């Protein structure tokens, strides 16, 4: 059938190549993201302190003292974004993992 319609065959092949390339690109980009653990805890509050070494504090409603977090290696958390939340007293959700010695690694914060 395609021998009689070379333009149609060219379109089908081109569409297949674009589809495979797009699918491969999406999977490749997902492979570059850091692996986020599945069992993360969540806290909702206001950022009250951001330090340059990747440590920040969030004051949760009903809590007397702030919770301190360290940014997890490879996590997509911007300290400048957290500083903006601090300046604006914006509500912030932090998804974190408790590690050895009580260190809380933040994987997502927004």
Q: What is the distance between the alpha carbons of residues 60 and 56, in angstroms, rounded to a whole number? A: 13
Say if residues 96 and 107 touch (Cβ distance below 8 Å).
yes
How far, rounded to the nearest angstrom, does the alpha carbon of residue 57 sit from its chain's CA centroid?
19
65 and 101 in contact (C-beta within 8 Å)? no
Identify the three-state secondary structure at position 56: strand
Residue-range domain boundaries for the chain: 1-33, 41-109
* CATH class given for the domain over 41-109: mainly beta
What local confidence, expressed as pLDDT, does residue 26 receive?
A: 83
pLDDT in tens, the chain (110 residues): 667 788 888 899 999 999 999 988 888 877 776 667 778 999 999 999 999 999 999 999 999 999 999 999 988 899 999 999 999 999 999 999 998 888 999 999 99
Output the pLDDT for position 49: 96
CB contact at 8 A, 44 and 91: yes
């Amino acid at each position: 059938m395609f021998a009689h319609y070379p333009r149609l065959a060219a379109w089908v092949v081109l569409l297949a190549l674009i589809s495979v390339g797009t699918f491969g690109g999406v999977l490749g980009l997902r492979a570059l993201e850091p692996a986020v653990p599945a069992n993360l805890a969540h806290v909702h509050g206001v950022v009250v302190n951001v330090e340059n070494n990747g440590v920040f504090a969030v004051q949760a409603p009903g809590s007397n003292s702030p919770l301190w977090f360290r940014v997890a290696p490879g996590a997509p958390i911007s300290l400048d974004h957290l500083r903006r939340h601090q300046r604006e007293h914006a509500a912030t959700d932090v998804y974190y993992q408790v590690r050895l010695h009580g260190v809380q690694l933040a994987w997502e914060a927004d």
